[in-house]
Structure 1
Amino acid sequence: MTTLFRLSIFEHEQDMVYLPRGINTLFSHLSFGGNCLCCSFSNSKKDEISVSSSLATKLLLPQMEKVHLFFHEETLHIGPLVGIFSAGFTGSLLRPIGGRSLFFAKLLSHVKSTGGSAFLFGTHHINWENGTINGYFYTDKGWIQQLIPFPHVVYDRLPNRRVEQYETFKLVKERLQKEYLIPWFNPGFFNKWSIYQLLQQEQSVQTYLPETRYAPSFDEIRDMIHRHQTVFLKPVNGSLGKGIIQISYDSQENRYDCQYRLGTENMQRTFYQFDTLASHILSDLNLKDYLIQQGISLIRRHERKVDFRVHTNKNECGMWEMTAVAAKLSGRGSVTTHLKNGGIVQTLDELFASASKVKEIMAKLQTASLLISSVLENRMEELIGEIGFDFGIDDRGNVWLFEANSKPGRSIFSHPKLHHEDVRTQQLFLAYAKHLAEKSIQEPEVLYT
């Protein structure tokens, strides 16, 4: 059981806690994150929890408006205290993590409505000897740094795959998880081929998967082009549509059309022999870093290909929700629908004139995204709190999964009509963190077995 209450601090030299009316006082300790102290408990006439200034100082309580109360044996836990782990800190309080400071400020600003406290930190902010972190908090007056105990939960927001491979970051994660039993969620960037292999093992989601092969040979590429007419070559660890090549085959003219992006230009080249295409385009690629995927005849609007970005999040009960859906229309001459390649974002209401069509598409995407989210969670050994999916729908209404991202981009939320969804996805990261904190306190065996 958890409940949300307003928190107040009162001046007193003794370690005391006044609990909201109706809550029993049969506790001997108050805990916050990694800190736990013996204190005395009494009831107040208010619907809030009041902590003496002496106790608040010792527990390293930051400023919090509301907190959840977690009850376990003789200890009352308040929180959750959520640490957001990242890299690229500047040392400046104005923009502590450079260009991503605004993103994290928006994320942390939702703590007031969800309860508890959240902060940003990196490897060099950890004091292992004292069990403390000099974390960054976002307040009404801007960024501040404050010493706090180890958190209940860590949310992984490392910026890219390269940084993720550094041994220092791996050791921090391993130590906090194994030595301190701190749940760590959304670790690691998904590998396209690994995700495909996982999903291919589950019969219930196989119909969503286009034919995909890893490290294809020239012969395999030729075979798939001739069978599907259109294929995509994708970097197995790529993102933002970088490095994607589309190859289409016209059997009547025996023509191969290649589309790709070079710098800021959308390029198109035509070949009349596969061997010529291979020598001019494919020979420049390290195909061991690529996969080839069946092209899908996507629905179109105004001659632009349409695919769909769908976000799913775990909620405060640890259940998956579809939190955001948007259509992405490809740029003129672009292989992908990414905004940097000239793509545009529309809501489903803008894309489809019929309300029944919107409802139909929403239902299909919800069924697919929630099912695949559950399958990925069950087949992976890590805690996952959010996933971004790229889906396509073909001319016959079939749904296809193109990609799943553990750290999805948020460019779709620049659309003014998706503000509510943007807020919801950010609030749910804290709600899921609360769920994990509760489990780690009351039922740790659920997380660690």
Structure 2
Amino acid sequence: MSEKTIEITSHRSTSRPFLCQMSKKLHELLGLSNHLNTLNITCGRHTVTCPVVLIEDEDYSLSLTDKISLELCLPPLPIKLQIESLDKASVKIGPIIGVVTEIYTKHTLHFGSIHNFCEELSHYCRRSGCFLYVFSLTMYDKNNMMGYYFDHHTSNWIKAAVPFPDVVHNRIHSRKLEQSKSFLTLTSELIENKTPYFNDRFLNKWEVHQILSASDHLIPYLPASRLLETKRNLEEMLEEKKDIFIKPINGSQGKRIFRVIQQEKDSYLLDYTTFSGEISKEYSQFQALFKALYPRLKREGFLLQETKHLQTYQNRTFDFRILCHKKNQQDWKVSSSIARLSGEQQFVANLARGGSSMHLKELLTNLYGEKESLHLRKLLIELSLEIVEVICVQAGGEFGEFGVDLALDIEGKPWIIEVNTKPSKSEDDPKKGKVRPSAKSIIHYCTFLYSQI
């Protein structure tokens, strides 16, 4: 089987509305029959059988009538796609990439926090010979797919009938939505149709901790953690560690986090993010502390985690966001990395909490010098790749992207803070007019999955 990326064009044929024109050069490359009269063209789940005429052309060319492209649910031609032969009289064009996420249309069309990222994905697809569209769970219909594709001439997203996807990237941000019947319907039908999709699902903090703590070589990098199940859990952890975080197991962007410090004479200092209402900063007894926390802790699951005394930069705490992407069936790479500095009066280094970012190399070099900085960068990258490889094997499902959050203590030792299956796209903003490395890596992985179908 041969394959080639070509620009598929259109032509008019009033007498033969389903006529297809193919260059002899492409016909020869694909190894099609020398007696080819009709051609089967497959795109997504759609197949059109049409008369074919071989033409003299120096390029590898395929030209379709409007009727054929309409039957295949393609956007207005021309479009650059890969073409491959399935047999002596059949070809497939693609890949068709679907991004499933929440879509907002009340005031203006918007894909939430990944809106700009989706535009970058589309730009890179156009250059790479793929067709990408965005759809929501409510738009999904296995027999009549609708989606939004980016029109590069008008710079607008257009809603249209689209081919069934060859690969789906899951960027749903609501855990509730991801557990809904409509999401189960989508994933069940993708599995039934043997359509690969990633990232499979959210992994909560406790699930990630359990997976990583089962690997002996990663235990030294994990802060002591336990699930908050009882009042006694909290009291024991405070007695043992004196300084702990209380984190929602399904939290993100540094929201809803408490920090509790047990002082001498058993008094307690409390700090927190994004909680409203009257919560004191200091409590003389554990009972009073727990009474204040309980109304907020009972709403969702929380994780208790020991506080490590982390290195600071210009009197601000910092951590590192390392974006990792899968290259093929088993190999991962680091696509980008940044240092995130906490905002003023914040104990969480997160851009959504008023923090700022800088180049990882710059921060480490300023703190440790060039030689030690190089050593630490290599260590952080190696550790990140170890983490994602372990999770990918143990978690089940298909994952193609992870955001790994690491930090250094005052002795320069790395600690694993968090691992995200759907990392924020506001923390690796591209240079103007550029497609960021994480967008390229997503499309590269989609095309790899497509090649395995």
1:347 to 2:362 alignment: no
1:333 to 2:345 alignment: yes
Aligned match for 2:188, one of 146, 168, 174: 174
Task: Give the alignment of 1:46-445 within 5 angstroms.
Answer: 46-53=58-65, 54-62=67-75, 63=77, 65-74=79-88, 75-90=90-105, 95=109, 97=111, 101-128=115-142, 131-140=143-152, 141=154, 142-178=156-192, 180-251=193-264, 254-263=266-275, 269-282=281-294, 284-286=296-298, 289-315=301-327, 319-351=331-363, 352-353=365-366, 354-414=369-429, 423-440=436-453
Give the deviation of 1:327 after TM superposition.
Answer: 0.8
What amino acid does structure 2 have at the position aligned with 1:401?
Answer: I
Q: Give the total of aligned pairs.
A: 433
* Residues 167 and 446 in structure 2, CA contact (< 8 A), matched pair in contact too: yes
Pair 1:340–1:207, CA change in 2 (3 A) = same
* Residues 325 and 401 in structure 2, CA contact (< 8 A), matched pair in contact too: yes
* Residues 215 and 287 in structure 1, CA contact (< 8 A), matched pair in contact too: no
1:426 match: secondary structure: helix
Q: Deviations over 1:349-408 (max 9, x none)?
A: 331323334322321121111111111111122111111111112223322211111111
Partners of 1:394 and 1:266 lie apart in 2 by: 32
Pair 1:381–1:316, CA change in 2 (3 A) = closer
Give the deviation of 1:222 after TM superposition.
Answer: 2.9
Identity of aligned residues (%): 23
Q: Deviations over 1:276-327 (max 9, x none)?
A: 3233335652286111012112111122111111111123676311111111
* Residues 266 and 334 in structure 1, CA contact (< 8 A), matched pair in contact too: no
2:436 match: secondary structure: helix
Pair 1:91–1:265, CA change in 2 (3 A) = closer
Give the deviation of 1:166 after TM superposition.
Answer: 2.3
Partner of 1:34: 45
Partners of 1:427 and 1:195 lie apart in 2 by: 26
2:371 match: secondary structure: helix
TM-score (norm 2): 0.85
Partner of 1:445: none
* Residues 256 and 275 in structure 2, CA contact (< 8 A), matched pair in contact too: no
Deviates more, 1:323-332 or 1:196-205: 196-205
TM-score (norm 1): 0.86
Q: Which runs of 5+ in 1 are unaligned?
A: 441-449
Pair 1:394–1:265, CA change in 2 (3 A) = farther
Deviates more, 1:94-103 or 1:215-224: 94-103
Pair 1:426–1:270, CA change in 2 (3 A) = same
* Residues 135 and 148 in structure 2, CA contact (< 8 A), matched pair in contact too: yes
Pair 1:19–1:310, CA change in 2 (3 A) = farther
Partners of 2:398 and 2:332 lie apart in 1 by: 13
1:51 match: secondary structure: strand
Partner of 1:4: 5
Partners of 1:247 and 1:150 lie apart in 2 by: 51
Partners of 2:278 and 2:167 lie apart in 1 by: 43
Pair 1:305–1:99, CA change in 2 (3 A) = closer
Give the deviation of 1:205 after TM superposition.
Answer: 2.6
* Residues 156 and 185 in structure 1, CA contact (< 8 A), matched pair in contact too: yes
2:428 match: secondary structure: helix
Partners of 1:297 and 1:155 lie apart in 2 by: 37
What amino acid does structure 2 have at the position aligned with 1:228?
Answer: K
Pair 1:20–1:209, CA change in 2 (3 A) = farther
Q: Deviations over 1:79-119 (max 9, x none)?
A: 11011112334278x52546754443333222112221000
Deviates more, 1:347-356 or 1:389-398: 347-356
* Residues 260 and 271 in structure 2, CA contact (< 8 A), matched pair in contact too: yes
Partners of 2:281 and 2:177 lie apart in 1 by: 35
Pair 1:263–1:277, CA change in 2 (3 A) = closer
* Residues 321 and 338 in structure 2, CA contact (< 8 A), matched pair in contact too: yes
What amino acid does structure 2 have at the position aligned with 1:170?
Answer: L
What amino acid does structure 1 have at the position aligned with 2:130?
Answer: G
Structure 1 runs (4+) deviating above 6 angstroms are 264-268
Partners of 1:267 and 1:347 lie apart in 2 by: 36
Partner of 1:23: 29
1:413 match: secondary structure: coil
Pair 1:20–1:300, CA change in 2 (3 A) = farther
Partners of 1:203 and 1:309 lie apart in 2 by: 23
Pair 1:164–1:172, CA change in 2 (3 A) = same
Give the deviation of 1:197 after TM superposition.
Answer: 1.5
* Residues 20 and 62 in structure 2, CA contact (< 8 A), matched pair in contact too: no
What amino acid does structure 1 have at the position aligned with 2:100?
Answer: F
Q: Deviations over 1:189-209 (max 9, x none)?
A: 221111211222233333332
Pair 1:202–1:72, CA change in 2 (3 A) = farther
